[in-house]
Amino acid sequence: MMIKWQPWKIILLGGSMMLISVILPLLMVLQILQSSFFLNFLTYGLSVAGLLIGFIGMVTMVRVERAKQKFKDQFK
């Protein structure tokens, strides 16, 4: 079953994943969190996944807006 999300929610999800991937290394540098192999790869994975998910959200938003514009132009 595929879940249909609005494009702004997808962009928000990607942005929040990227924000977490910035905060975690900062906490590691400040030695609030102990750096580990797993945490480093988790941070990298969140960064890459957030970038891809945000990009997919932007592409989806553009496609929806173009479809709306095409529909409007069809009935002028």
Q: Residue by residue, what is the 3-state secondary structure of 45-75? A: HHHHHHHHHHHHHHHHHHHHHHHHHHHHHHC
pLDDT number for residue 11: 96
Residue 54 CA to residue 44 CA, distance in Å, equals 15
Cα three-residue angle 59-65-71, rounded to 5 degrees: 135
Is 3 inside a domain boundary? no
Q: What is the pTM of this model?
A: 0.84
Q: Which residue range forms the structural domain that includes residue 53?
A: 8-74
Confidence of residue 74 (pLDDT cuts 50, 70, 90): confident
pLDDT number for residue 57: 94
Nearby residues of 35 by Cβ (< 8 Å), 6 or more positions away? 28
* Tens of pLDDT, residues 5-26: 899 999 999 999 999 999 999 9
* Tokens matching residue 43: 């941070």
How many independent structural domains does the chain possess?
1
Is 2 inside a domain boundary? no
